[in-house]
Chains A and B, each alone.
Chain A
Amino acid sequence: MVAESAPAQALRACVQQALHQARQQGATAAAASLERGEGLTVAVRLGELETVEREQDQGLSITAYFGQRRGTASSTDLREDSVARTVEAACQIARSTEEDPCNGLPDEERLAFEYPELELHHPRDLDSDEATRLALQCEDAARTDSRIVNSEGAEVRRYDGVRVLGNSLGFMGAYRRSSHDLSCCVVASDGNGAQERDYWHSTHCDWRKVQDPETVGRIAAERTVRRLGARSLSSCVAPVLFEATVARSLLGHFVGAASGRALYHEASFLLGRKDEQVWAEDIRLIERPREVGGVASAPFDAEGVETQERVVVDGGVLRGWFLGSYSARRLGLTSTGNAGGVRNLSLETQTPALSWEELLQRLGRGLVVTELMGQGVNQVTGDYSRGAAGFWVEDGAVAHPVHEITIAGSLPDMYRGIVAVGAEPDRRGSLQTGALLVDRMQIAGV
């Protein structure tokens, strides 16, 4: 169990109170969650302090069940009378909506009545002066390159939050999580009026593992300067190498299509594809929600269901979905502990992962994508068409930067068409993968 501070106990009491009131009002079951957090953000720009922001957030959410009818209400006001009104609102909604046989709390045996300490809480006593100093260091490092002519600034943020979740089956869980962020965004000019902008961002729950300010600034500058001189391409069909930073989005589309609602609503290109070859043969997707100190780790999901390590794709074959209790019941399955999302999903390859140089060699002649734009992804059909920027590669070497192009194809073809995976995964988010090389896509340009 998590060691608790006095305020955390007060939050538990508030959750208990809300559950108790829901039962008093006739709810047959109820769940309540409370989040509270406090943070500091300091932004600098062009060597000067720009913003100091103090954050202080709180919110209570209560779900009441009247048999198989459900109502949800939430409030940022935690005064006693307001909590009572929120509970009342949830109960009132539950009484007047319709029965859905799949509604209800999670199955009791799946609840995380015991859970491990995942070491997600690493508070840092960082005041605004020290945060300013770090941000200035970061931006200065980015501005040492003479082609960097302007800046959107550098930002340091710390946040410290607690989450408490309880339900009327007697589950009560809490964990604390901190997050520490450092980011920098700069503008480069080619001297002829064309400007490019790019950024870098480092994040971790443990501040000791955030990249140092100089590194973040240097990467931001490198990513920006390398875009100078970009031009469009002639439309063509070519292999496309997604840099790790953007390859993550391909995992995101997969998770969306493999999630409960997309499946029971038949809004997924993965419908009926369980136990079929969906990815290239050497691809494995593993979710590790209880990774100690992991960026998206959690001991239980948004309903209190135990999270667990599992293989979702093995040898390219789709083995599992991402389900909460409701969608699991709709599909006649059991919850996978994914209410509230996916946690540390990692793409791994059973063949050796390649270094960046090896990937370029393997690409030969084609496109490296470093930025994607727009919402042109259709989860129902898998059709894919997005704006892109990056580099054109000839004979395994970068020829020139490109912009104002689109790349298009279909996600099922792209997943099966992965011919190489990069060795250096981007682990800054809940979706983690190295670069991905897709055998062919349609590129549209001038």
Chain B
Amino acid sequence: MKLSLKIIATFFVALMMSFNVFAAKITITMGGDDERAMREHYRFALDWAEKNGHEIGYVYRPASATDTLNLYQQICSSGSSDIDIFMIDVIWPGIFADCAYDLNNIFDDAHKADFFEGIVGNNTVGGKYVAVPYFTDAGLLYYRTDLLDKYGKSPPSTWSELAETAQFIQDKERAAGNAKMQGFVWQGAAYEGLTCDGIEWVNSFGGGNIIEADGTVSINNPNAIAALKTAASWVGTISPEDVVTYKEEDARGVWQTGNAVFMRNWPYAWSRSQADDSPIKDNVGAMALPGGGSDGKMTGALGGWQLMVNKNSKNPEIAADLIRHMTSVEVMKTKAIDTSNLPTRPVLYDDPDVKAANPFFGMLFDTFNNAVARPSTVSHKYYGQVSNVFFNEVHSVLTGSKSAEDAAAAMEKDLKALSRKF
């Protein structure tokens, strides 16, 4: 295990510190969407180590969330203490609850109260405080301010408005010789990302959360079916047919080359779209995703990453102290400004510096606060299967191989069978 860990780790740095009786080496596995975010995480950990006379080992996690999950599971199942702190996805607390050190031993309720209540709840499994919210994420709608202005359109508040505006601008732009213009790009490949997009559609139409907190399978309802039908109607009209193969970066590829009016993506896309080398710099707006109908809900899927202490760690208290530092107001503020990482502390959404760097943060506070969570807590160990059933059935509706009604019925049947195991 030790050897294979070292092979897997592509980035491993240890800094020897001087003679301190309390010196401990804390190995942390993190990483992010890119090199820059990774360096940021590492820098904050080093600051803490220098101040307290500890040592940092840094294991760069695989870029793919699935590979990361696999790696963590190997480490946990072997009972290894090689890694002290894991950075885990918002849908994993249920999976790793058995492997986590109970952070209730370190953080009191007053400390927890400074974070978003919903995420702390998500990270609490059977009374155990599994992980501290590090940064959050929610699905957003990005739009091209220049194109909307050019055609006198305003940002949409419902999906039908979005479809109408997207179609209008796409037709006009194509007629003007811009043949590659697309109305709306999003994540349609059969993977976890489609579960996020899908639950947003269903939830915005008032179609529930696939499986409710009490374990009821709710997906087979008229609102959910209407939501899936709406999404399927975009494929080949305002969205390219091969949107059903898109992941986040495929959508951003079309968007950032200036070939899309709207895009659904995570907040990270903001700082990329506004980068100096971006062709669409200063022509980008971000807002909450549209609602289903006039009474629809403007929503976004909850994402984000948490910091968890390995229960096999030799120094859980010291590791928790590093987490305290990494999730402090100062660190979170810097990260929000530098890499558009959304703070998990509500107070930072009023911070003028954060607002200046990310104008959409304040506007979307309610969205982040009320983001729709995937049914991972209720289905804990079986979430992978729940999500798989959902995104595969939704994918069949998008490619036209199944009707929305049949897919909803099939989901209900499969999920009910699965939910008996929860």
**Is chain B found bound to chain A in the same assembly?**
no
